[in-house]
Amino acid sequence: MFKRDVLQIKDLIMKNLRAQGLETPLLQKRLVDSWQEVAGEMVASYTREVYIRNQTLYVHLTNPALRADLSMMRTELVKKLNNHVGSQVIADIRFC
């Protein structure tokens, strides 16, 4: 009798996405969508735009005081966002 190589559906889908070059854009989209949940509703209410370019998350905020506070928490936010997605997607955050 032979042993079958059994994989979970999740692993098969991720393998297929990786082969087609779609894994990174999917993870980036998940990270951008998770900004509100990770940063909180109050911060999200002052957020105008969130996007990723060259492994840097750019967040446009309407409140300068909040921008200064979040700048001091950059490394913690990077860790939380990457952990929420489950992969190393971003290396830095810039608040504009």
pLDDT of residue 1: 61
Is the pLDDT at 59 greater than 80? The verdict is yes
74: in domain: yes
For 20-57, the pLDDT digits (tens) are: 777 788 889 999 999 999 999 999 999 999 999 999 99
Cα–Cα–Cα angle for 89, 95, 96, rounded to 5 degrees = 130
Q: Under DSSP, is residue 35 helix (H, G, I), strand (E, B) or coil? A: helix
Question: How far apart are alpha carbons 48 and 82 in whole angstroms?
Answer: 21
Residue 80 has pLDDT above 80, yes or no: yes
Residue 42 lies in a domain: yes
Domain-located, residue 79: yes
12 located within any domain: no
Q: Residue 9 domain-assigned?
A: no
Q: Which range of residues forms the domain containing residue 90?
A: 38-95
Nearest to 71 by CA among 62, 84, 59, 53: 59
Domains in the chain: how many in total?
Answer: 1
pTM across the whole model:
0.80
What distance in Å separates the CA atoms of residue 79 and residue 57, rounded to the nearest whole number? 12
- 59 within some domain: yes
Number of Cβ atoms within 10 Å of the Cβ of 83: 11
